[in-house]
Amino acid sequence: MKHSTTSPILQKITKAEINELPLIAWEGPIEILNTEAEMRKAVEHLMQEDHLGFDTETRPCFKKGDYYPPALVQLANADTVYLFRICKLESLNVLKPIFESESILKTGVAIKDDVKELQAVESFEAKGFIEITQLTTKLKIENKGLRPLAGILLEGRISKGAQVSNWAKSELDEKQIRYAATDAWVSRELYIRAQSLAETQLEP
């Protein structure tokens, strides 16, 4: 998808306007990682990256007082999205090298909440996590959510159909897999797009 870096940036988008946009989704390779050995191999590969799109998914709570820990961590590089099914692990140790790396940017929306939820599972020193809305706010974009920001910066609509589903079930279905991968991919693309706009449109 091509964008002009000199045209004015849309500052706000409505739900109705988002619904008029074409549906976009990650169409590339997706690695679903169920075991610690699979995850360790993926982490070794991802440690060579300098920028990853980041997101998590958690089984929703429908009763007051219920709590579920994050079930899935999604990390996207330029050509593959990796789905770490942390609900199948007893520890987050395998992901700590990425979570604690200052040299690997992990970009996302509402990323502070995701990190806090992961730290509730296991303590780690969060480094390199970048909140995309800090950048989009400087660009005077009013919307804060992943979906509206995708509408403004990527000119596409992402599906939220699988958001409220059981992310801790034994096997994820195709709809969940595509949804989770798309969110991580978008979290990477939004930062790249916003960074490009900031470099060309914000005063030094």
- Averaged confidence pLDDT in the chain: 92
Name the CA radius of gyration of the chain, rounded: 17
Contact 197, 87 (CB under 8 A): no
Longest CA span, the chain: 50
Give the three-state DSSP class for 169.
Answer: coil
Six-digit token pair at 65?
């007082």
Cα 153 from Cα 63, distance rounded (Å): 36
Six-digit token pair at 146?
């992943």
How confident is the model over 187-197, as pLDDT tens digits?
999 999 999 99
Architecture per CATH, 15-198: 2-Layer Sandwich (3.30)
Reference 139, options 204, 203, 202; nearest CA is: 202
Cα 4 from Cα 83, distance rounded (Å): 32
Which residue type, as a one-letter code, is found at position 34? Answer: N
Whole-number pLDDT of residue 8: 62
How far is Cα of residue 14 from the mean position of the Cα atoms in its chain? Answer: 22
The answer, yes or no, to whether residue 105 has pLDDT greater than 70, is yes
| pLDDT band of 201, cuts 50, 70, 90 | confident
Six-digit token pair at 3?
């964008």
Whole-number pLDDT of residue 64: 74
How confident is the model over 11-69, as pLDDT tens digits?
899 999 999 999 999 999 999 999 999 999 999 999 999 999 999 999 876 667 677 89
Query: What sections of 47-82 are H helices per DSSP?
Result: none
Over residues 74-80, mean pLDDT: 98
The answer, yes or no, to whether residue 1 has pLDDT greater than 60, is no
| pLDDT band of 161, cuts 50, 70, 90 | confident
Q: Tokens 């997101």 belong to which residue?
A: 55
Q: Tokens 């660009």 belong to which residue?
A: 139
Cα 186 from Cα 53, distance rounded (Å): 7
pTM: 0.91
Domain chopping of the chain, boundaries: 15-198
Whole-number pLDDT of residue 67: 77
How confident is the model over 108-151, as pLDDT tens digits?
999 999 999 999 999 999 999 999 999 999 999 999 999 999 99
Instruction: Check the CA dihedral 136-137-140-146 and report its sign.
Output: positive
Q: Burial, 95: exposed, middle or buried (Cβ in 10 Å; 0-12, 13-18, 19+)?
A: buried
